[in-house]
Amino acid sequence: MCSDELRVSVLGPVRAWLGDVEPVLGPARRRTVFALLAGRANQVVSRDELVDGVWGDEPPVGAVGSLHTYMSGLRRALGPARDALVSRTGGYLLRLTEAALDAEVFERGRADAQRLLAQRDWSGARDTVDAVLGLWHGSAYAGASGPFAEQERRRLGELRLSAVELRCRAALELGQHAEVVAEVSALLVEHPWHESLRALLMVALHRSGRDGEALEVFRAARRALIEQQGIEPGPALRDAHRVVLAELSPRRVARAC
């Protein structure tokens, strides 16, 4: 079994595979070091960067020595793929093939879906997003700690949310209005200040024939933004409001308002 067969998952608990076998990466800190190297695959990561990414501003006195210990343990765990973990002057490198890290596959798929959406290939965009969202198994870098994992967890979480939003936009164009209303409503419980999601909900409600509810989404969001943040709705909400109003007849506008 060669090192090229090493695959790594960070869209959930940090795990690795050699073919169908999952190596035991070891305790949490060692797993965190492996996660950082995987997230920077095929790049030399200096010892200083590893220490900063794993321990932050207050590393223990023996942090560099601990890195040596973790690398030895990881090489043992990787067995036939031990050569994937390479020592370089002042740092380390983890070799991975192009499709070996699930986070990279997800990001490429999301970008592909965005292009398909721009090309008005609604089914292609939806199916592409569905495929890459299936790579997720919890929060990114679950079980890993330190500044690097926390930063990547936030970044990938935002990309995951944008991918779901992209899928909802494609679903809207495919006439799946009720499904989008349900999904976006659930997302807003978790992300109440996400204006583009509220705008998407307005359009989905409008296309479902629920114009009064669509306009109430705008009114409620505007009240909350003014009262709690002292600002007016942003462009996404204002544009959705204009779209809904423009597509209503004067009589229906009066009734909806």
Average of per-residue pLDDT across 131-146: 96
| φ, ψ (nearest 5 deg) of residue 44 | -75, 125
Average of per-residue pLDDT across 245-255: 63
Q: Which residues contact 35 (CB under 8 A, 6 or more apart)?
A: 10, 14, 141, 144, 148, 149
User: Do strands 91-94 and 45-46 pair parallel, antiparallel, or not at all (unpaired)?
Assistant: antiparallel
pLDDT digits over 204-225, tens only? 999 999 999 999 999 999 998 8
Radius of gyration of the chain measured on its C-alpha atoms: 23
Q: Is the pLDDT of residue 256 over 60?
A: no
pLDDT of 90 reads 87
**What is the percentage of the chain residues whose pLDDT exceeds 90?**
82
pLDDT of 102 reads 97
> What's the CA gap between 182 and 176, in Å, rounded?
10
pLDDT band at 252 (very low <50, low <70, confident <90, very high): low
pLDDT digits over 17-63, tens only? 998 899 999 999 999 999 999 999 999 999 999 999 999 988 999 99
DSSP calls for 187-239: HHHH-TT-HHHHHHHHHHHHHTT-HHHHHHHHHHHHHHHHHHHS----HHHHH
Which DSSP state fits 62?
T
Q: Which pTM value belongs to this model?
A: 0.88
pLDDT digits over 96-113, tens only? 998 999 999 999 999 999
> What's the CA gap between 154 and 216, in Å, rounded?
31
pLDDT digits over 111-134, tens only? 999 999 999 999 999 999 999 999
pLDDT of 5 reads 80
